[in-house]
Structure 1
Amino acid sequence: MSAADVITAILLPTGALFSALGALGALRFPDLLSRLHAATKPQTIGLLLILTGVAFQAGSFASAAPLILVAFFQLLTAPVTAQTVGGAAWRAGVIDRGVITVDDSRREESRREESRRED
């Protein structure tokens, strides 16, 4: 058994566990923001671990290059999607504002109102 086999044997189940726990959190968490967190962070980490484990078995950089692209696009799209869905839910009033500890949007709204009054 080579070192790549051992690394792969550790990374693949760990990535699968992260992904499974993220899916479980998306089902079990009570509100949208918690579910978004569970759907993006552990899923992304799980996928990156799985892709790294598969890259160790690829044999060459040319074979692993598409995996790097998949990882890049996952890191690019998951946070943007979560931010977009969270922002849309916030504007729609779906999110319970009582559970938010820091609300930066209120500060931004007050800044906009102050700048309108000055104009």
Structure 2
Amino acid sequence: MKIKIAYINLALTAAILVVFAGQTAGQSVNEATWQTSVDDSQRGVVTLGVRDKWGTMGSFTAKFVATIGKKTYRGQMSSSQDNWAYIDFPREFQGSGPKAGTYRVTFYVKGVVIARDRFRYRP
């Protein structure tokens, strides 16, 4: 009887491990489902955002690199689970004197490019 219970316990443990394998926090950047947001509808500020849609990464720090011509602006913001990491351009970015125009933005998490987009900045 004890052996039968031990086998059942082992089988249940194995089944739980199989069901939940790959669903724990801390997965790789490439396994996460990323969403990005660009809101350039207001003058003087562009709000950029990124989130891990299913929260599989746990916590993360997103880096944002905006470029226009040869000028580069950098910013970063942290978040966790499936919460958005929002950052405002140019207020929360390093770099001086942003000018009006169309910028290219690259979104990074752990050094991996997760998305690219564009936005129009109007001072």
TM-score past 0.5 threshold: no
Rg (Cα) greater in structure: 2
Structure number with the higher helix fraction is 1
